Each structure stands twice: as structure tokens, then as C-alpha cells.
Amino acid sequence: MIRRLYHLWPDPKLLARLWSLTVIQAVLQGLLLGLLVPILHAVVRQEPDIAAATPWLVLGGIGAVVYGLLAIVSDPVGYAAGGVLAAQLRKQLMRHVSTLPLGWFTAAHKARLARAVTADVGDAAHLAVVIGNPVITSTLLPATVVAIVFVADWRVAVLLCVIALVGSWTLRRAARVSAEAEIELERAAADVASRAIELGQVQPVLRAAGHAHGTPRMHAALDRHRDTYREGMDRARRPFFLYTGVVATGFVAVLALVAWLMVSERVEVATAVALLVLAARFLQPLGNLIELIGALRAMTNKITRIEEFLATPVLPVPAEPVRRIVDPHVELTGVTFTYPGGEAPALREVTIRCRAGTTTALVGPSGSGKTTVTRLVARFFDAEEGQVRIGGVDVRDLDPEVLLNDMAIIFQDVYLFDDTIENNLRLARPEATWDELREVARAARLDEVIERLPGGWNTRVGEAGAQLSGGERQRVAIARAMLKQARIVLVDEASSALDPENEAAITQAIANLGAGRDRTVIVIAHRPATLASADQVVSLDAGRVVETGTPAELLRTGGTFARISRQYERARHWRIGTVS
Amino acid sequence: MSTTTSEPRTDSVPEPAVGTEQGPGLAEPGALARLFAPIRSYLIACGLLSALSSGAGIVPYVAAAEIARVTLSTPSVSAAAVWTWVGIGAAGAGLWLVLMVQSSRLGHYADAAILHHLRVRIVRHLGALPLGWFRASGSGRVKRAMTGDLEEMHEVIAHALGQLVGAVTVIAVSGVYLFSVDVPMALVVLGVLGLMTVSYRVSMRSMAAHVNRLIAAEGRISAASVEYADGIQVVKAFGTGGRVLHRFDEAVNEYAEAFAAWVNEVRHSSAVTRLLGSEMAVLTAVTAAGVAFIAQGSLTGAELVAFLVVSVGLPASIIPAVSGAQAVRKGRMGAANIERLLARMPLPEPERSRTPDGHEVEFDHVSFSYDGTTCAVEDVSAVCPTGTVTAIVGPSGAGKTTLTSLLPRFYDVTGGAIRIGGVDIREIGSARLLASMSLVFQDVSLLRDSVAENIRIGRPGAGDEDVREAAIAAHIHDVIEALPQGYDTPLDAGGGGLSGGERQRLTIARAILSGAPIVVLDEATAALDPDSETAVQEALARLAVGKTVIVIAHRLHTIAGADQILVLDNGRLVERGRHDELLTRDGLYARMWMAQEGVTA
């Protein structure tokens, strides 16, 4: 535990320094307790001998002052260390994340990242500082006390050792059992949580069905939670009681042993009294250990989460990467790929050739692998079998930076930084002239949007581009891609209902994008106009390429593409209320 | 219970447990007590047991001290007296253990009972709230009330109660014992503890301000990490990683600075608190004062021993009270949140539900305002006769969605009335009202249940054959059959392996099964999933047959055949009529039509 905690931090020396201070304090505290033996010897008698106690008292006084100074020094050191460690670990985590493949950035991972860099790191740092202290004190102080007791009376010392051993065995068991019970409790709680979400989402349906007061399943989940909870708590607490029992029994045993030693006059009364005092000081911190278990476990969970992040493999980079893309010819040869954790391959032996300067439209039902193709080209993931080549070079041999420099990705959920429109475009090429900006804005049909915005080019787009509609954001992204003069452009055309103006604008903008002579465009097409203007259509189904050809050819052959086109036509002529 | 941790028994220093700590003040006093009312007797019993247990826990220490006293007060050791005290110590330890187990059992029993009780209460209350509340607050709020808020309250029973009661008892019992042994020495101990309290207060004085600054900085760290991750494609594609990372680093540094500032400000007071709260402080004070008093002759060695055994452990006993108090503060906040939720006005239900005569829907001078100042819908009047299609169109923000959500009483009108079959919808019981209509919106909501049950909920008690027929009518039967367990395939909240359009059709099957005479639908629903758009469209068409249909339309050509088109602008009804009539009028509708046809033609 301590070792894992230690290795987690970029600069663990800070912790080492802090902990060594704590170690000194704990041992010093034990030794000062030991001074009670001679002091009590001197004063616990009919005629107290203060003179005999004085040297010990002076020594104790000096020790206490040293202890106090150490405490005052180590306290701010500890908290300062906590702050520094948290900052270092946060930066390290973020640096690591920035080297991960794009495919890693799923919604779930993003949410966990936000939690990891805030609460998890903060709490781990906090715990590293405040837990280290009591853990060290609760173990080293009793150890020192036992050593001193050994000098005074070996029998009591042996008894204390036995208590400590039995105690530590019970404690370990308690931690394990409660961890198990906690998993069960967590499962029951998760069930309640997801039922709660369902309750919120499906409320109108539930009410219409007469389940306004919750479905039977909801109530079953609540009942189950109550039962699991009671059972789990009972089970989790049992070893804790056992541990407390061990400590309590230990105390009584020490009392009895010391009483016997004293009554049978095997030790002096003064020694016996000192032993009692020491035993009390030994057992109390031991008893407190149980309180630390919960905190330690919570910390283990946090540390595990952080470690998982740091252990996520980064995108492999070749030792001697190719640093130039000669021409933007994109080629997939026999590519098979399965998503991490997925069962069936998302792509099977897919071969697609996109000649430089052409536009390729990907079509197919959802789940057919269209998006996966674009993700592999952009190296969100690496293919298992087969090769993805750009300009004849395997993407795995390319310098990732070079690849991304020559590529623009326009996905459905376009992300804009909370900045002005101008700056969001200039990201692509900071030194672009105003003429160039206006030119791409016009080509992407963004000029109309800018005209309408209150601040024109200087309008801030709001966090994540919330001020603009989805279609407008996509137009920004298209303009950005044009400005970047990326030679490979991947587009996932907006599929959801767009207002008519945006629909026309985006179709036009994508066509303009494809018009660039040295630009290879791969577009996941949802609109007939986009399909019609493509140089090549690749039709996918269940991860396989089923058709390839020009739109005209495919319409003639009457395969999947022809069927989809007919569906588009039918959908366009759909009317509500005109069905017989 | 994922975040349930017992606070470490550590230092009473201001802790940087940021993110969990929030300012108090929001908590209404008494919310905790009111919500705990059903288990009050349990809690009292639990507290009593916990107090008795803590009291008994001191007995072994007292026994140790007394053994020293009896052996020292008489020149010859009295074996009987010593063994008596060993016996008392053993009894105390035994009692301590037994009472602790019982108190904990009782606490957990009551804890489980109250969690259950409150959850049921929340579920029932939610069932009576206006549906609009769910739209605005979302299921996140429901989840928080059912889990997070409750868990913070649970902490109060599970740990805080015992910690507080235990600490108070230990201090009280030890105090009484120590004062009975020697008053001046007891005062010395009290003095050390008093100084610790004062110093603790000093160190916590500026806590709120510092914590707020830390929370703000943490918010920025979180925002920057989210921004980085969300914009990762842009970040990587445009090489702007440095800039965003810079923002992240700044936030991290700001946090570290804020933290350092806090540490720096309280460095002395917190170190002194920790020092005074350590066993060493009490030990030193007791030994020094004790030896002095012995030298004076006012104290015996035996009495000093009593103090060494009993008083040195006192600081460690107080510390749980600090974390207990923090837990109580959080519990109060959770309780206040829950009470606020339970205090929300339920949707007014009629005393006697009236039965509508037919299914004609009438909007009679309907106005509605979300905030009480600006009207989202203003003075809209229209009649949707039984068996006809009424389309609602207009630019975004015109009030289309608001108007349709008034019909199922997501919100109640603020002016005018909506009637079904001549009866004001506020006079129809909400279960009956909702059962009379099918709502098909863009956001699909599925039960975490089997596919069959997800359809069946449209008409509870419907036979398997009816469920299949509805599925066939909604063009989803084949998809269901292809699932691993067919109709018995369990769906999670996200809809399992179904695509958006398939989930959509599942809810349409549900609506078809219900046979509700009124259908309210959002036409964009059909365009959600381009791959199964036609199938969804056909399913919707099947659903609409013979019903009173009210449809929010975005693509005008889909509603060109509607019996009546209501054109909304800025919440007002600006035009009404059939497609051809509206075109000749050359108004807003005609302009919208031209704009669209220009695209799709």
C-alpha cells in the first residue's frame, strides 16, 4: 500500500521527507513514554524522590520540546507537500492523456478523466499526507513501546506482541471482508441509481400505465437494496468487531498479567504501574487502526483509478517515423478491426482505394463500419490485420504529427473552443490573411452565418460552440479544414434533421471542399446530393465492402446503393396523414 | 455507497478535502430531524447504546488506574482488591464490545429502514410532480436525490451519530473520573484541551474563503481537462495542445497557490492545534504538573498514574467528533435537498376525474409562461377534430414544443384552457389523461426491462400476441427476432444494441399497442436515424391511422397533406389553414416553404 502510494507520485521524495519526519516523531514519542518508567520509579512510592526523577524529567522536557518543534515544522511541510504532489500528478496525468490515441477519448473516459484530475488526485494527495501520519504513528509507536516494555519485563512484552500479531491478522481479514461486502453494496446501489434514472426518463409512460408510484421492479430494487444493505453491513462489521474484541481482550489480559506479576511480587509495584501506563499507550493507537481501514481502502480505490489512467498504453510511435506524406492517396488493404472490448469485428478485410484529389462517399446502414473506416485512417485505432496506407506509407510508420497536420476531421459533433469565430478558424493557420479567411468562409458558406451574428467575426461561440446550431458548427469546421489546406479530409455528414438552410449550405460546402484538386475527401454521406457528386461510392454492410463504383454505375447495378437511394427518395416524399 | 468512507482518525487540522466540502448555510435547520422522524426511537436507542458502550470502554483504563491506586495506597499489596479491579476491567471491556455491536446493529437496521422509507417516499412524490419538472431537472436530479443526497444522510446514522455520542461520553465520563481523582490536575488537562479548541477555531476561521477559492480552481481544472478531451481532435489536428494544456496548467497552479496560501496562513495555528491535540502535549503537561504537585505534596504518585492512564488518550477520543460534525453538516445539506424536492408542489389532481366526451382537442386562448414574465405561448386558440392531423410549424423558438407539452400537462397553462372532448384537461386525472395519448418525441425513453415489457407497458396486461402485432405494425418485429433472446432480450437504459431508429420504433410499437386515441409526435423523430428513416416513417404512419394527431413539423413537405396547419411565430398563432391555402396567402408559411423547396427541389 505505502509502496504503491509512494510510486504514484512524480516526485516521491517529498513524501519520503515528510514520512521520515513522522517516523522520528513516532519513535521519539515512544521513547518519551519510556521515560515514564524511571520517573514513576522515583515518584510512585510512599516518599517520592523528586531528585531521582529530575534528570529524567529534564531529558523528557528536552524531548518534548524537540517533539513540539518537529511537529510544528512537519505540519506545514506535510500540507505543502500535499499541494505540490497534487499539482505534479495532475500535470503528469494530463501529459499522459495527451499521448493517448484519439480512440481512447470516449464519453465515459472523458468523464472519468475529469474526475481523476480533480477529486481523485486531490483526495489521494490529501490522504497521502494525512493517512501516512496516523498509519506510521499507529504502527511505530506501539513498536517502540514494546521495545521499552521488553527492557522492563519480557513477559508483558511477549503478551503485547501476541496481541499485535493476532490483531494485525484480524485487521487484514476485516479489510478483505469489508471490501467484498462493499462490492455487493455498490452493485445494489447502482441498481437503485439506474432505476432512478429510468424513473426520471420514462415518467410519462409510467404514469400512463398506472405506475405513477414506481414500477414493481423499482420497488423490488429498493427492497433488494434494503436487504442486501443489512446483510452486507452485518457481514462487513463482523471482523471489525472481532478486531475490537482482540484489542479489548488484550487489554484485559495485560491487566491480569500485570496484576499477577505484582501480586506474586515478581515485579515491583512501581514497574507494574509503569507497565500498565505503557500498555494503555500501546493498545489505544492499535485500537485506532481500525478507523483507518476505511480511509485506506478509499485511497486504494482512488490510487487504482489513477494508476489505470497512467497505465493506458499510448499510441505506438515508430523509432524512425516517416516525416513526409508525398501524395494524399489513401488506401486500405485487407483491413480487419475489432473495437477494444468488442466481440464481432467492425471491419472485415476491407479494401478501399481513394485516389488523391477524389471524393469517396461511404454509405451503409448504421453499424456497417463507415465511421470505423475514417477512424482507422485518422489512426484513432490501429488495424489488427491489413494495412492503412497514406501516400503508400503505412500510417503506423508515419510520424503521428505529420499525419494529423495533413488531415482535417469534420465530425457530426464539431467541437469549437469558447473563443471568437475568427480565432476558431485561425487555429488552422494562425498566419492566414483576411482575404484567405473570407475566401474559406465563403466556400464553406460560413459568410452568411457570420453576417447574421451580432459581433460578426468577433462573436464568441460559447462553450463547445453552443451559440451556433449543429449545422453552423459543421460549416465552421469545414472552413477550418479548408484554411488548414489539409490534403486529407474526413467528413461525417450531419445525419440528424437539419433546418433547410443548413442542409443546402453544408451540401454545397462539402462539394466545394471536394473541388480542391490536391485534396482527398472521404465522406460518410447521408444526403443524396452528396452521394451524387462523389467520384466514388463505397457501400458497406456488416463491416464488409459490398459495392464500389461511381454513383451512376451503382444505380445501374441495382445493389445496396440503389436501394438506399430509393429509400431516400421515398423518405423525401413521406407525408403524415396521407396513408390509407 | 461508493464514496462511503469512514473519515480517518487523524488530525484536527483544516483538511484540504476539497470537492466534498461545501459551505453550510443552505441547510434548513431541522430537515434532518424531520426526515429521520420515522426512526427516531431507533436513533435514540442507538445513541444511548453508543453512549453506554463508550462509557464502558473507559472502564478498563479506569481499572488500570485503580489497580495502581490500590497497590500504592496501602503498604502491602491487597491481592483481592487488585483482582476485583481486573474483574471490573474485564466486565467493562466485555460490556463495551457487546453494546458496541448492538448499537451498530441497531444503527444499520434503522439506516436501511430509513433509506428504504425515504426512497419510496421520493418515488411516490416524483410520481405526482408536473412532468415538466423532469424535462427541466432531468433524471440526474432524480438520481442524486435517490443516491447521493440520501447517502450523505446515511453517513449521519452510520458513523457520525456514534462518533459524536461516543466522543461526548468519553470526555464526560473521563472528566468525572479525573475530577474525582484530583481537581487541579483535571483542570490542567482541561486547560490543554481548551487551548486546543481555541487554536482549532483560529485555524478554521478563514476556511470558507479558502475553500471557495479552491473549489473555483478545481472547477477550472475540471473544465480545462474536459475542454482538452472534448476538443482532442481539434487539439491534435491543429496542434493547439500546448495552448489548452497551458490553461490546464494554469488552473492547476492556481489551485496549488490557493492551497499554499491557505496552508501558509494557518501554518502556526494548525500546527499548534495538532500539537496540543497530540498525546504528547497532554502527557507532558500531566507529567510536569503531576511531579510538581507531588513535590508540593498535594498529589500522590498513584493519582498521577490515574491521569497518565486515562487522560493521555483523551485527544484521540475527541478527533472522531470533528469528522462526525463534518458528516452531520453534509447530512444536513443532503436532507435539505431532499426536503426541498419533497416540498415541490405536486401537479394538482381533480377530486373527481371527469370522462371526456370524444377525443377532440381544443386550445382555448391558451397562454403559457415559463418564468412568469415572457410568454412562450400566447393566446393560441385552435380545435383539432377527432381523426384529423394538425401540424404545428414555425421557426425554432416559436413555441411549437411548448404548446404540445401543455396537452399532456407537462406544465399547466397560465391562461386559457385546453379541453379534450369538452373537458378541461385539469379535470381529468393525470393517469387517465396520459393513457389517452401517445407521446412520440425525439428523446426515446426505454425501461430497463425486456423488449416485450417495453412494448407491453403501453397497455399493461396485453397478451404476447398483441405485443407481436404492435411490433409488426411498427416495423420492428424482424429486428427483435434477430436479437439474441428475441422478445426476452433485456434492454439497458441506453437501449442495448438497438440503433436510434430501432429504439424509436420500439416506442412507436408501445404507442400502437396502447391504442390511445390522441397522438402527439415530433416529426423530426423520423429523421433521427437516416438508415431506418423509412421504417420509422412507416411506423409513424401506421400509428396515426384514425387518431387525433398533433405533429410538430420541421420539414414542411411531410405535413403538406395535414388537415390543418398552425403556424406559430414568437408564441403566437400567426396563420392557420391547409397547405394550399397558406401558400396562396404568401405569409410566413409560404416563405418557409419557398426556403425549403429551394433546397430539396
Same domain, A469 and A430: yes
Same domain, A456 and A551: no
- Residues A576, B116: C-beta atoms closer than 8 Å: no
Same domain, B382 and B405: yes
Question: What is the C-alpha to C-alpha distance for residues A307 and A312, in angstroms, rounded to an integer?
Answer: 9
Same domain, A263 and A300: yes
More confident residue, A443 or A415: A443
- Residues A576, B541: C-beta atoms closer than 8 Å: yes
Cβ atoms A113, B229 nearer than 8 A: yes
Q: Which residues, 6 or more positions from B560, have their beta carbon under 8 angstroms from its beta carbon?
A: A575, B579
Is residue A360 situated within a structural domain?
yes
Same domain, B427 and B573: yes
Residues of A whose CB is below 8 A from B516: 208
**Chain segment A433-456, per-residue pLDDT in tens:** 899 899 888 888 888 888 877 788
Same domain, B90 and B111: yes
More confident residue, B262 or A134: B262
State which of A470, A486, A502 marks the end of a domain.
Answer: A486
State which of B313, B344, B375 marks the end of a domain.
Answer: B344
Residues of B whose CB is below 8 A from A219: 120, 123
Same domain, B245 and B336: no
Residues of B whose CB is below 8 A from A218: 123
Burial class (CB within 10 angstroms; exposed 0-12, middle 13-18, buried 19+) of A260: middle
Residues of A whose CB is below 8 A from B551: 576
Q: Which residues, 6 or more positions from A431, have their beta carbon under 8 angstroms from its beta carbon?
A: none
Same domain, B427 and B460: yes
State which of B344, B372, B402 marks the end of a domain.
Answer: B344
- Residues A83, B16: C-beta atoms closer than 8 Å: yes
Residues of A whose CB is below 8 A from B431: 207-208, 210, 212
From the list A76, A186, A567, which residue is nearest B2 (CB)? A186
Is residue B134 situated within a structural domain?
yes
- Residues B139, A196: C-beta atoms closer than 8 Å: yes
Q: Please name the residues between 114 and 153 in chain A that touch chain B, using a CB distance below 8 Å.
A: 114, 117-119, 122-123, 125-127, 130-131, 133-134
How many separate domains does chain B show? 3
Strand partners, B521: B440, B551
Residue A210 is classified by DSSP as T
Is residue B9 situated within a structural domain?
no
Nearest C-alpha of chain A: how many angstroms from B364?
24
How many CA atoms lie less than 13 Å away from A129 in the CB half-sphere? 25
Is residue B208 situated within a structural domain?
yes
State which of A458, A486, A514 marks the end of a domain.
Answer: A486
Is residue B4 situated within a structural domain?
no
- Residues A201, B445: C-beta atoms closer than 8 Å: yes
State the helix-helix crossing angle for B279-296 and B301-310, rounded to 10 degrees.
170
Q: Report the residue of B125, B137, B287, B386 to disrupt the A interface, i.e. the one with the largest count of A CBs within 10 Å.
A: B287
Is residue A480 situated within a structural domain?
yes
Q: Which residues does chain B have with pLDDT short of 70?
A: 1-29, 75, 77, 135-140, 237-243, 396-397, 442-443, 492-497, 524-532, 597-601
- Residues B534, A574: C-beta atoms closer than 8 Å: yes
What does the pLDDT average to over A263-291? Answer: 81
How many separate domains does chain A show? 3
Is residue A325 situated within a structural domain?
no
| CATH number of the domain where residue A207 is located | 1.20.1560.10
Domain containing B591: what range?
Answer: 361-600
Q: Please name the residues between 253 and 292 in chain A that touch chain B, using a CB distance below 8 Å.
A: 255-256, 258-259, 262-263, 265, 269, 272-273, 276-277, 279-281, 284-285, 288, 291-292
From the list B123, B279, B305, which residue is nearest A214 (CB)? B123
Can you read off the three cell numbers belonging to residue B82? 487488585
Residue A198: closest CA among chain B residues belongs to which residue?
Answer: B447
| CATH number of the domain where residue B87 is located | 1.20.1560.10
User: Considering just the CA atoms, what is the radius of gyration of chain A in Å?
Assistant: 36
Cβ atoms B365, B415 nearer than 8 A: yes
Same domain, A367 and A425: no
Burial class (CB within 10 angstroms; exposed 0-12, middle 13-18, buried 19+) of B180: exposed
Same domain, A67 and A174: yes
Is the pLDDT score of A411 beyond 70? Answer: yes
Residues of B whose CB is below 8 A from A288: 9, 316
**Residue B91 confidence (pLDDT):** 93
Residues of A whose CB is below 8 A from B138: 200
Average pLDDT over chain A reads 81
Listed residue (B139, B135, B143) closest to B442, CA to CA: B135
pTM for the structure as a whole:
0.72
Residue B145, classed as helix, strand or coil, is helix
Domain containing A441: what range?
Answer: 416-486
Q: Please name the residues between 522 and 561 in chain A that touch chain B, using a CB distance below 8 Å.
A: 526
Is residue A471 situated within a structural domain?
yes
Cβ atoms B346, B339 nearer than 8 A: no
Same domain, A125 and A193: yes
Residues of A whose CB is below 8 A from B580: none
Same domain, A102 and A10: yes
Listed residue (A393, A420, A417) closest to A406, CA to CA: A393
Q: Which residues, 6 or more positions from A218, have their beta carbon under 8 angstroms from its beta carbon?
A: A195, A198, A199, B123
Same domain, A198 and A111: yes
What does the pLDDT average to over A11-31? Answer: 84
**Residue A162 confidence (pLDDT):** 92
Listed residue (A243, A231, A238, A228) closest to A292, CA to CA: A243
**Residue B138 confidence (pLDDT):** 64
Nearest C-alpha of chain B: how many angstroms from A545?
17
Is residue A27 situated within a structural domain?
yes
Question: What is the C-alpha to C-alpha distance for residues B143 and B134, in angstroms, rounded to an integer?
Answer: 12
**Chain segment A377-389, per-residue pLDDT in tens:** 888 888 888 989 9
Same domain, B201 and B149: no
Same domain, A511 and A531: yes
Same domain, A470 and A514: no
How many CA atoms lie less than 13 Å away from B194 in the CB half-sphere? 6
Which range of A49-63, A501-515, B327-341 scores highest in mean pLDDT? It is A49-63
Question: What is the C-alpha to C-alpha distance for residues A303 and B322, in angstroms, rounded to an integer?
Answer: 26
List the single range of A249-253, A526-530, B236-240, B354-358 with lowest mean pLDDT: B236-240
Same domain, B177 and B189: no
CB atoms inside a 10 Å sphere around CB B158 = 21
Same domain, A77 and A172: yes
Is residue A9 situated within a structural domain?
yes
Same domain, B209 and B141: no
Same domain, B164 and B219: no
Q: Which residues, 6 or more positions from A113, have their beta carbon under 8 angstroms from its beta carbon?
A: A93, A97, A309, B225, B226, B229
- Residues A273, B68: C-beta atoms closer than 8 Å: yes
Same domain, B171 and B188: no
Residue B258: closest CA among chain A residues belongs to which residue?
Answer: A83
Residues of B whose CB is below 8 A from A480: 238
Nearest-5° Cα angle at B441, B435 to B444? 95
Long-range CB contacts for residues B161-164, cutoff 8 Å, separation at least 24 = B161/B43, B161/B46, B161/B47, B161/B50, B161/B107, B161/B324, B162/B46, B162/B50, B162/B103, B162/B104, B162/B107, B162/B324, B163/B320, B163/B321, B163/B323, B163/B324, B163/B327, B164/B320, B164/B321, B164/B324, B164/B325, B164/B328
B239: left (phi over 0), alpha (psi -120 to 50) or beta: left
State which of A456, A486, A516 marks the end of a domain.
Answer: A486
Which range of A43-57, A61-75, A295-309 scores highest in mean pLDDT? It is A61-75
From the list B17, B278, B283, which residue is nearest A123 (CB)? B17
A289-305 b/e with 16+ CB inside 10 Å = b? bbbbbbbbbbbbbbbeb
- Residues B72, A44: C-beta atoms closer than 8 Å: yes
Is residue A560 situated within a structural domain?
yes
Q: Which residues, 6 or more positions from B104, have their beta carbon under 8 angstroms from its beta carbon?
A: A237, A241, B162
Residue A483, classed as helix, strand or coil, is helix
Is residue B143 situated within a structural domain?
yes
C-alpha pair distances (Å), A341 with each of A107, A344, B494, B499: 16, 10, 18, 19
Residues of B whose CB is below 8 A from A499: 396, 554
Strand partners, A541: A544
Question: What is the C-alpha to C-alpha distance for residues A282 and A250, in angstroms, rounded to an integer?
Answer: 11
**Residue B230 confidence (pLDDT):** 76
**Chain segment A201-225, per-residue pLDDT in tens:** 777 777 777 777 777 778 888 888 8
From the list A185, A504, A574, which residue is nearest B558 (CB)? A574
